[in-house]
A and B are shown apart, each in its own frame.
Chain A
Amino acid sequence: MSERALAFGLAAALRHWWLPLVWLGLLLLASLGMAELEAGFRWLEPDSREVIYRRTDFLTLLGRHLLVVGVASLLAGLAGVGAAVLVTRPFGRDFLPLVAQLASMGQTFPPVAVLALAVPVLGFGTLPIIVALVLYGLLPIVRNSLAGLQGIDPAVQEAARGMGMSKGQVLRQVELPLAAPVILAGVRTSVTINIATAALGATVGASNLGDPIISGIVNGNTAYIVQGALPIGLLALTADSAFERLLRHLR
């Protein structure tokens, strides 16, 4: 019986999550088996001596890419939601107009410019890219968290307070769950942008999936470019479709 329930649950999960899983499978396949596609890349780039990017293996590059995006998104998520919660509390309300203005204005900053401006301050390597990604990723999260928290009907909060909930309980059990879909949409935007922007980190000395692309552009080797672009595209599609499912689940 329980086995059947498990199988049923698994089938339901598969039906729900098949799209992100397919993208993930393709991503892993591409990262592991890039060398197997040599014939294809040879056709694309018949004149080059080397058609497979071999300086670092693709799984390592993918891991580094994920690490940078993951750390940056986690920090941006914590800081962004935290800031939005703080400025919507009574004691932080003074800061609300400034933070809201900053979040909407910051959206107009191009990611490249943010990255470029982080380098003079922080030097080359992985640190500036993480800082730039956190800064840039913060903005959609703050904006959406604010919209989510402010969009809650005050009557709902009133009712929760009337039921004897403490302020902390109202925040945790009423406000955050109600705002979750909007907040998550912000996180989705942030992660998608970060996956793309992290690739630019290869130009400031951070090694990740952007490396083959930059190396390909510099050496005029299209095969390298495809080998970088393919996993990044698949990674972006995996993350985006996973968030899409998650959002549908929440609504």
Chain B
Amino acid sequence: MRREVLRPNRVLPLLMLVALAAWLGLEAVSVAPNRIVPGSGFRAHEVVGWTGALAGCLPLLAVAALAWRPTTGRLRLVLALAVLLLMAMPAWLGLAVTRLVDPAQPQARLGLGGAFWVLLFLLLLALIELRARLRLPRLAGWGLLVPVLLAWWLALASWLEPLALLQEYRGRSDQFAAAVGYHLGLVGAAVGASLVIGVALALLMRRHAGLQKAGFGVLNFLQTIPSLALFGLLLAPLAWLAANVGWLAALGVRGIGWAPAFLALVGYSLLPMVRNTFVALEGVDPAVIESARGMGMSPRQVFLQVRLPLALPVMLEGLRITTVQAIGLTAVAALIGAGGLGGFIFQGLGQAAMDLVLLGALPILVMALVADALLGALTERLHPGGTR
């Protein structure tokens, strides 16, 4: 058998060279005596000395060198190295804490610098690249993140006390939990409502051809209106309704708050929902329907047992788009007093407290990625022919 000889992988060496430049050239951490004073930045060699900084280059160079002549075994080694590097990052931050943060100052805080974020981003890119090259299944790709997350969790729980992000969280852990719950609740309610209305609309459109053109026209129009504008425009009519219709006001409908946010979210969610449901139901091969009828199925059976199951993956795709979109839009809704994680973002922007912004933005990002991955996996699973 011929030994496997692969072309040099040029992606990983390039990523690692950029990582090297960032590690040596950009500020890795910043230290501030308290929340208000802007911090002063430190590069890696200013924290651990040139020996330490250069030692940190070695694993990056090793990844680049191993990937240059990539056999499967070497790529596996590279994968292990990348995961270990990601796990080492919080430990390194712990080292920076002991060297830079004066324990006598309980207010002092450690911020994450450019080099840190660039390194994190590039290592995650390396993981994505390796997952594709080694043809790892989706689940294994996510499994790789488990040890990394464990390492981070351990570090945050034990020795990263002065991390600025953590301090912002400590200050408002109750609010944070409430905001996450509220954010998820609003997204869930809006997506749920648009699922019901969207499927009903799509079914109606299949019945009445006239409704189809008008329906898509209105929904397309709605989708074009910028979210901030739509939220704003809903304030006035809802405030009027709340003032004039007693039972709506009793329900908690106000010009600001969850009501306009919910309505706007449903409005935006309807287009992907209706479009995908409609296309999915129409797209089922007529021959399949024909043969189902030929087998003596009633129209009801044909719909429930043939058309709907075949259309399900595309419908789920619509649900995925809708959910991811709603998670982001709910953040904007914080501007009209709807609360949620967007509240932290805009509060942080207002106070120029960037760690508070991160406290809002990072969970939103994670939520969107997780929702995307979960619904994507579900769609793949339901595809006719099972898992690919």
Contact = CB atoms under 8 A, between A and B. Distances in A.
Interface in B361-377: 361-362, 364-365, 368-369, 371-372
B25 to A, nearest CB: 15
Interface stretch (A47-55, A74-82, A223-231): A223-231
Interface residues on B, range: 35 or more
A225 B233 contact: yes
A113 B361 contact: yes
A113 to B, nearest CB: 4
A203 B228 CA distance: 11
B58 interface: no
Interface residues of A, number: 45
Contact of A236 (B133, B224, B331): B224
A109 B230 contact: no
B368 A109 contact: yes
A137 B233 CA distance: 25
A107 B317 CA distance: 14
Interface in B1-38: 7, 9-11
Chain A binding surface, main DSSP class: helix
Given A108-B324, A116-B349, A200-B228, A98 B357 contact: no
Contact of A119 (B125, B256, B331, B349): B349
B364 A229 contact: no
Interface stretch (A139-147, A149-157, A161-169, A209-217): A209-217
B228 A210 contact: yes
B348 to A, nearest CB: 8
A113 B342 CA distance: 9
A127 interface: no
A119 B235 contact: no
Interface in A105-125: 105, 107-113, 116-117, 119-121, 124
A120 B358 contact: yes
B357 A116 contact: yes
A110 B321 CA distance: 12
B129 to A, nearest CB: 5
B232 A226 contact: yes
A94 B9 contact: yes
B227 A203 contact: no
B328 interface: yes
Nearest to A97: B132
Interface string A227-242: 0111011001100100
A192 B227 CA distance: 11
Interface string B187-200: 00000000000000
B75 interface: no
A21 interface: no
A11 interface: no
A222 B235 contact: yes
B354 A196 contact: no
A192 B224 contact: yes
A195 B336 CA distance: 19
A214 B232 CA distance: 9
A124 to B, nearest CB: 8
Contacts of B336: 217
B229 interface: yes
Contacts of A120: 354, 357-358
Contacts of B328: 109-113
B278 interface: no
B346 interface: yes
Nearest to B330: A110
A95 interface: yes
B368 A110 contact: yes
12 contacts: A98-B125, A98-B129, A110-B331, A113-B364, A116-B360, A195-B226, A196-B226, A196-B229, A216-B232, A217-B335, A226-B232, A226-B236
Interface of A: 44, 94-95, 97-98, 101-102, 105, 107-113, 116-117, 119-121, 124, 192, 195-197, 199-200, 203-204, 210, 213-214, 216-217, 222, 225-226, 228-230, 232-233, 236-237, 240
